[in-house]
Amino acid sequence: MSERLDKFGREYIAALEAYLKAVDESALSRAYELGRRAMIEGLGVLDMALLHRTALEDLVLSAPATEQRRFAQAAANFFNELLSSFEMSFRGYRGANEELQRLNETLRQQKETVESANRELESFSYSVSHDLRAPLRTIDGYSQMLLEDCADALGDEGKRYLRHVREATQYMTQLIDALLSLARVTRGEIHRIEVDLTALARGISERLRSVSPGRDSHFIINEGVRANGDARLLAVLLENLLGNAWKFTSKRTQAQITFGCEERDGKPTYFVQDNGAGFDMAFAAKLFGPFQRLHSLNEFEGTGIGLATVQRVVHRHGGQLWAEGKIDEGATFFFTLGGQNP
C-alpha cells in the first residue's frame, strides 16, 4: 500500500470507528468527505474497496459476536457513503463523454463538408487553369506570327506593343503553370519512400547552372542527406527552394547556395541557405501565402506561388516550414517532414 493510501486508510478506519460508536449523520458525512478527497487525490474505487476490507477486518471481525451484525450493516452504510462522490463523478464523466461523442460527430461532419468543398475547389481551379492555357497559346502563337510574317505592316511601334502582348501572355502561362503545380501538390496520395535529397539537389543545381552558365556560383550540397517522403513532391519542393535561392542571388558577384540537414529539437531539419537579396523578417509571415511577393517584378521575376507550393508539400508531410533572413544578407529556409505516418 502506498504511503498516501496508508495514511488515508488510517483516517478511514478512525472515521468508521467513530461512526460505529455513534451512528449519526455527521459521523456518516465524514465518509462522504473522505470519498470526495480520495477522488481529488486521484485514488480509485478499487483503492476504496481495499481500504474498506482492511477496516472491516480491523473493526467488525474483532467486535463481539453480538455486535457484529449491527456493525456490518453500519459499515455497509459508511462504505456506501464513501462511494457516493465516486458515483457523482462517474455520472459527470459519462455525461461529458456523451457530450464529447456528440461534439466529435459534429466535428467529423464539418470536416467532411470542408474536405468535400476543398476537393471541389481544387478540381475547379485545376480545370480552369488547364483550360486557360489553350487560348493563351493561341494568343501567343498569333502574336508571334504577326511579328514574323507582318513585320513590315506593323512598324516599330506596333512590334513593340506586340512584344509586350507576348511577354504578358508568357508571364500568364507561367502563373497558370505554377497554379497547376500547386494544385497537383495538393491532389493525390502521398507515397513515402526513402529519398536521396543530395542526389535530387545536385541534379537541380546542375540544371540551374546550365541555364545561365556565365554566372559565378557555388553550390555546397551536403553528402548523404536522405528523407522519408514523397519523391515527386520533394522534387517540387527542392526545385522551388533552390530555384528561389538561384533567383535571389542573381545580383551577387558570387552566389553561394547551401543545402543540408541538421538536427534541431531532435528532428532532422533540412535547410537551403543563400547569400542573396534576403528579406525583412517583419514580412516573414507573408512569405508563404500564394501570390505574395516581397520583391517587385522588375527586381526579380516570379509568380509568388513557389513558396506556397513548398509550404503545401511540407504540410502534406506533416512537417513545418520557416525562414530566416535579413535584407541584402541572404535567406535560409528550414523545413521538417514529420514522422513516418503523419
Give contact residues for another protein (rule: CB under 8 A): 24-26, 28-29, 32, 36, 39-40, 80-81, 84-85, 87-93, 95-96
CB of 70 to another protein, least distance (A): 17
CB 257 within 8 A of CB 272: yes
- What 3-state class would DSSP assign to 267? strand
User: Among 298, 175, 182, which Cα is nearest to 237's?
Assistant: 182
Q: Could you tell me whether strands 217-221 and 255-264 are parallel, antiparallel, or unpaired per DSSP bridges? A: parallel
Rounded CA separation 173/331 (Å): 28
Closest CB to another protein among residues 23, 281: 23
Closest CB to another protein among residues 89, 320: 89
CB of 103 to another protein, least distance (A): 13
- What 3-state class would DSSP assign to 63? coil
CB of 40 to another protein, least distance (A): 6
Closest CB to another protein among residues 83, 195: 83
Q: Which residues contact 189 (CB under 8 A, 6 or more apart)?
A: none
CB of 197 to another protein, least distance (A): 46
User: Among 83, 91, 92, which Cα is nearest to 34's?
Assistant: 83
Closest CB to another protein among residues 22, 65: 22
CB of 61 to another protein, least distance (A): 25
Grid coordinates representing 229 are 517522403
Closest CB to another protein among residues 45, 284: 45
> Got the DSSP string for 186-215?
HSS---EEEEEHHHHHHHHHHHHHHHSTTS
Rounded CA separation 217/237 (Å): 21
CB of 125 to another protein, least distance (A): 43
Rounded CA separation 139/134 (Å): 9
CB of 44 to another protein, least distance (A): 13
> Got the DSSP string for 38-72?
HHHTT--HHHHHHHHHHHIIIIITTS-HHHHHHHH
Closest CB to another protein among residues 92, 141: 92
Closest CB to another protein among residues 99, 112: 99
Grid coordinates representing 282 are 517583419
